[in-house]
Structure 1
Amino acid sequence: MTYEHALYRSEKMVKAILICAALAAASLTGCAGLSADVHTADATNAAAALQGERTYTIARMPSQEAGADQPQFESLLVNELAKQGFVATTAGTARYLLSVAYDTRPATIVVNENGCASGDCRRGPAAPFSLFGGPAYQHALTLRFFERASGHEVYKVSAVSSDRDADPLHAMPTLVKSALARFPFDAPPDWRVKLRADETGGVPTVTSVKPLQP
């Protein structure tokens, strides 16, 4: 490989990385609207398993019992579940135990060397997001429904979104709305939910729910 060819390839790679980083930064700042990716685990028989009485109680982990944001988050979740016909009740009478897990962590977004195309391309370095408005964060929410009597898990759904806000509570309306945009989600297991932000800062509105192409 000649020096000129190596230099041209290096310049092309850097340009591709910067373009991809800029596009990703723009989407994280809201230019592309709100969205979340939703995944369900073996949802083939979930619709049948969730027929009948829809009563539940939230099974909290010890760390959640002391969480300052837990009451506000659970209130949001209870309200959205009520729209699906679920009624919160005591542990002794509930049909389902609902396990809730959520976290927020710094997101490392990686771009491909050849113009950000997917496939078998070699991975380039992580995009320098500090140059485009600060670090990105990934928020994740997982809901798991267990039959209280048997302990059998009947449905599991996860939602993931990214933005530049480190506060997990700010991401919860988007995640909860996305995870429950369809209940239950059927096959395929992966979906993209797009939403429109509420101008008053309330729960966003779902605008589209489409399966992700493999």
Structure 2
Amino acid sequence: MKPLLILSAALVAAMLAGCAGVKTDVRVSPLSATLADERTYDFARTSPQEATAEHAQYEALVREELARYGFAVASKERARYVVSLAYDTRAAAVVVDVAGCESTTEACEAPATTSVFPGRRLYRHSLTMRFFDRTSGQEVYKVTVTKSDRDADPLHAVPYLVKSALARMPYAGNRDWRVTFGSVETGRAPGIESVSPVTP
């Protein structure tokens, strides 16, 4: 019985450790975006987004984070930018290292179904935020964030994705970035510990 108790304690410790050091991956384009002094915007929404709690949470957090950079919501007719949000949660895949197999092909991937606790899937959450000039319709800035975990509920990933997307506004000088979060207390927003460029 003693070895079992030791193993159980180790598993609990592993679960608690998972609450700290959360990392997200960020990709931006262009590498040096120039945003106008007039920082007003309005959201572009698809019909399905209009009535979902998930989208409402995304927009609320995006408004809060953008305000830190001097952005303000304006009417559709007066806004300098139109901001679109696209997000997704799906079961992730693991890459199988096979000789002669290109890692980018579907043949090299298999569903991720195992972990410390057998049968739990790995999920990949993503958010893409795009800024368009309202007058010309030209895309001026795009940022995509991904986060992998074993929580199928997409709402739990929202704060991490939004804070990562807007940890810098705009990101500049590097296409890929890694955002690391510190430990998170229940009921509180995640705090960013570091933002660092990822070099090839």
| Band the TM-score falls in, shorter-chain normalisation | 0.7 to 0.9
| Paired positions, count | 179
Q: Which has the higher helix share?
A: 1
Report matched runs for 1:76-91 at 5 Å. Answer: 76-91=61-76
In structure 2, the CA distance between the partners of 1:127 and 1:168, relative to structure 1 (3 Å rule), is closer
Q: Pick from 169, 175, 178: which aligns with 1:192? A: 178
CA pair 98-127 structure 1, distance change in 2 beyond 3 A: closer
Equivalent residues in 2 for 1:40-51, closer than 5 Å: 40-44=28-32, 46=33, 48=34, 50-51=35-36
Q: Which amino acid counterpart does residue 114 of structure 2 have in structure 1?
A: F
- Tell which deviates more after alignment, 92-101 or 192-201: 192-201
The offset of 1:124, in angstroms, is 8.4
Letter in 1 for 2:142: K
Q: CA deviation at 1:112?
A: 3.4
1:112 corresponds to 2:97 = yes
Using the TM superposition, name which of 92-101 and 66-75 deviates more: 66-75
Q: Which residue of 2 aligns with 1:56?
A: 41
Q: Structure 2: any 5+ residue segments left out of the alignment?
A: 1-13
Matched, 1:93 2:78: yes
Gaps of 5+ in 1: 1-25
Question: Which residue number corresponds to residue 156 of structure 2?
Answer: 170
Residues 110 and 126 of structure 1 are in contact (CA less than 8 Å); yes or no, is this contact kept in structure 2? Answer: no
Give the deviation of 1:85 after TM superposition.
Answer: 1.1
Give the match for residue 143 of structure 1.
129
In the alignment, the residues of structure 2 paired with residue 60 and residue 34 of structure 1 have an alpha-carbon distance, to the nearest angstrom, of: 29
Which residue of structure 2 lines up, in the alignment, with residue 30 of structure 1? Answer: 18
Q: CA 1:165 to 1:126, structure 2 compared with 1: closer, same or farther past 3 Å?
A: closer
Residue 9 of structure 2 corresponds to none
**Secondary structure of the corresponding residue to residue 187 of structure 2:** coil
Deviations 1:16-58 (A, max 9, x none): xxxxxxxxxx69x7166211000012222x0x2x030100001
Q: CA deviation at 1:132?
A: 3.4
Q: Say if 2:192 is the partner of 1:202.
A: no
> Is the contact made by 1:33 and 1:194 (CA closer than 8 Å) also made in structure 2?
yes
CA shift, 1:69, in A, is 2.3
Identity %: 51
Indicate if the aligned counterparts of 2:92 and 2:112 stay in contact, CA closer than 8 A.
no
Q: Secondary structure at the match of 2:148?
A: strand
Tell me the distance in 1 between the aligned counterparts of 2:28 and 2:139: 12
> CA separation in 2, counterparts of 1:181 and 1:72?
18
TM (norm. structure 1) is 0.75
CA contact (8 A) 1:38 1:160 kept: yes
2:191 counterpart letter in structure 1: T
Change (3 A) 1:124 1:163: closer
CA distance in 2, matches of 1:34, 1:59: 30
